[in-house]
Amino acid sequence: MILEAIPKPNHDQVGWPWTEAINRLPLTMPDGSTWPRISVVTPSLNQIEYLEETIRSVLLQGYPNLEYIIIDGGSTDGSLEIIRKYEPWLTYWISEPDRGQSHAINKGFQHSSGAIMAYLNSDDSYLPDTLKIVASTFNHSFPDILIGALQRLTLSADIDPVNEILYPDSGNPVHLFPIFKNHRVENFRCLQPSLFWTRSIWQVTGQFNENLHYMMDREWCLRALARGASVHTIPDVLTRYTVHPGSKSHDQNLKFSGEMVPIYRTLSRMREFHRIFCWLEATNYYLANLKDTFYLRSSENHKQNRKLNSVFNLFAARILRRLRLPIVGFGNYCRSRASIRET
């Protein structure tokens, strides 16, 4: 994709992906093999302020074997004019009411055929060389799931924009308790904008749960891990993830964590998961929600809630010891003991 070949943007902004592009990659990889086909789906609904940047960040990758699909949920803010402007470079697009983001993403992948899959929300964007890095990593490391770093841009009317880099191999373990019957112990962050996976693991795991609206990517990753998916993380910053007043990620922590409770309850009924430990995970998230709901505004009550969470973690750790099972989130457990001593 050459910059001069696609329409000029509606904005006067400069830099990537407005006035800068990547030179088209050669038709074959350095080892002579064909670039794997990458299918990217963008679900969108009334995101005209960010949609064009998202589209251009995908098309201007210069990637020679790209499928780009946009599933619009019936926007009325002018988004359709932007989509139509780039229609010649899209594999498929449609605008019609849907049952939510998960349904839109699943619909998009039904029109895809790529060996590598990803979805990019309509207020996020790929950074230069993202698809080249992704394809090269899959070609050399052969993972089922690849997760890169991301740049989180937080926009607010009250403060200046905040930029920070999030890495997939930092943070707490994916799960505190040994929920998998295949004994998987993973310590990575499921950074959705920088998440890519193979079609083969998609076929084994199944599509996104359309009953979920916030944590469908996390739930899908848990099912994939239970079915033996291999995970590879890289420090390369692949995407810019925008948090703004109109985004689902803005001030929605309760809804995100709250959705994990029914997720673990559902997983507890699947044969690949330990029922009791899924229920412990659900209880842990439930207690965290109680904290955010009732104690968030009071520092004194927040200290009490830390003690409540710590007591629960200690209790759960004793159950694991009695059953002679490993404490997966041992760092959390140690911090919990320290917080009890502080109060």
51-108 pLDDT per residue, tens? 999 999 999 999 999 999 999 999 999 999 999 999 999 999 999 999 999 999 999 9
- Of 64-78, 119-133, 299-313, 321-335, which range is least confident? 321-335
Residue with tokens 């209880």: 283
- Give the pTM: 0.85
Q: Quick one: 68 and 116 in the same domain? A: yes
Quickly state the pLDDT bin for 125 (edges 50, 70, 90). very high
pLDDT value, residue 183:
87
pLDDT of 301 over the 70 cut? no
Average pLDDT value for residue range 235-260:
75
Last residue of a domain, one of 185, 220, 251: 251
pLDDT of 276 over the 50 cut? yes
Q: Quick one: 272 and 235 in the same domain? A: no
- For the stretch 126-175, pLDDT in tens is 999 999 999 999 999 999 999 999 999 887 767 777 889 999 988 666 77
Q: Quick one: 234 and 304 in the same domain? A: no
pLDDT value, residue 42:
98
Q: CA 195, CA 114: separation in Å to the nearest integer?
A: 15
pLDDT value, residue 336:
36
Q: Quick one: 247 and 269 in the same domain? A: no
**C-alpha distances out from residue 65 to 27, 62, 174, 262, Å:** 8, 9, 33, 39
Q: Quick one: 194 and 305 in the same domain? A: no
- Domains held by the chain: number: 2
Q: CA 265, CA 285: separation in Å to the nearest integer?
A: 11
Instruction: Determine the angle formed by the axes of helices 275-294 and 299-322, rounding to 10 degrees.
Output: 170
Q: Are 168 and 211 within 8 A, CB to CB?
A: no
Q: Quick one: 246 and 270 in the same domain? A: no
User: Measured at the alpha carbon of residue 190, what is the angle toward residues 184 and 191, in degrees to the nearest 5?
Assistant: 160
pLDDT of 323 over the 90 cut? no
Q: Quick one: 291 and 206 in the same domain? A: no
Q: Quick one: 205 and 289 in the same domain? A: no
Q: Quick one: 33 and 69 in the same domain? A: yes
Quickly state the pLDDT bin for 219 (edges 50, 70, 90). very high
Q: Quick one: 112 and 205 in the same domain? A: yes
Q: Quick one: 317 and 331 in the same domain? A: yes
pLDDT value, residue 166:
93
pLDDT value, residue 333:
38
Q: Quick one: 27 and 54 in the same domain? A: yes
- For residue 220, the enclosing domain spans 3-251
